[in-house]
């Protein structure tokens, strides 16, 4: 069953000349998770399926398609949204610069918010239980074709249209569950 509010969202492909078409399964949808222990207001990311669930009442959720961290960069755990930003400023982490200096060193002074910023239109900042920033984010992307894949430096990404829908629904203090990836031999 499609989510009424999400139906009003422009297709992810609307702004792109190459006419990328988002698979229907990654469009926001109202779903029954059958998870009685997932509480309203929580966010759950299932990396193997590439879904993010924003929990509602009675096991219902708004499900969004996401991209997740690539091999060895995805960090499972339980986190808290401590900060939110619209059109956020971004700077690669020191680890990103060390790992891929040819790609990230030129951004060491940061990138102002805007359509070309890697964090996209909105960002939710994930902190650990000690109150420290983990540098993990749930954020937008201007590369919608990355949804449904593991290509990021650890964050969960949604299309800019979808993060704009999710952003006002997630409260500061919301718990976020990033589940482990399955081990494939």
- Domain residues of the chain, as ranges? 4-178
Give the pLDDT of residue 50: 97
Give the pLDDT of residue 183: 60
Tens-digit pLDDT profile for residues 103-113: 999 999 999 99
Cα Rg of the chain (Å, integer): 16
Please pick, among 18, 132, 155, 162, the residue that the annotation labels catalytic: 155
Q: Please, what sign has the CA dihedral across residues 96, 118, 22, 42?
A: positive
Annotated active-site residue 155? The verdict is yes
Which residue stretches of the chain have pLDDT < 70? 1-18, 183-185
Please pick, among 18, 44, 132, 139, the residue that the annotation labels catalytic: 139
Tens-digit pLDDT profile for residues 46-87: 999 999 999 999 999 999 999 999 888 899 999 999 999 999
Do 159 and 147 form a contact (C-beta atoms < 8 A)? yes
Burial class (CB in 10 A: 0-12, 13-18, 19+), 20: middle
Give the pLDDT of residue 55: 98
Percentages helix, strand, coil for the chain (3-state, rounded to 5) are: 20, 35, 50
Q: Which CATH architecture has domain 4-178?
A: Beta Barrel (2.40)
Give the pLDDT of residue 110: 92
Give the pLDDT of residue 8: 42
Annotated active-site residue 139? The verdict is yes
């Amino acid at each position: 069953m499609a989510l009424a509010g999400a139906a009003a969202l422009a297709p992810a492909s609307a702004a792109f000349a190459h006419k990328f078409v988002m698979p229907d399964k990654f469009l926001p949808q109202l779903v029954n998770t059958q998870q009685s222990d997932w509480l309203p207001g929580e966010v759950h990311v299932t990396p193997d399926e590439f879904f993010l669930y924003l929990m509602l009442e009675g096991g219902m959720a708004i499900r969004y398609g996401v991209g997740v961290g690539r091999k060895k960069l995805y960090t499972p755990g339980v986190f808290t949204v401590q900060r939110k930003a619209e059109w956020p400023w971004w700077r690669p982490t020191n680890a990103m610069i060390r790992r891929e200096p040819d790609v990230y060193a030129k951004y060491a002074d940061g990138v102002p918010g805007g359509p070309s910023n890697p964090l996209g239109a909105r960002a939710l900042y994930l902190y650990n239980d000690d109150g420290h920033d983990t540098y993990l984010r749930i954020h937008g992307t201007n590369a919608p074709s990355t949804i449904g894949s593991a290509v990021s430096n650890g964050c969960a990404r949604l299309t800019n249209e979808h993060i704009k829908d999710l952003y006002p629904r997630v409260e500061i203090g919301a718990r976020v569950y990033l589940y482990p990836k399955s081990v494939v031999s």
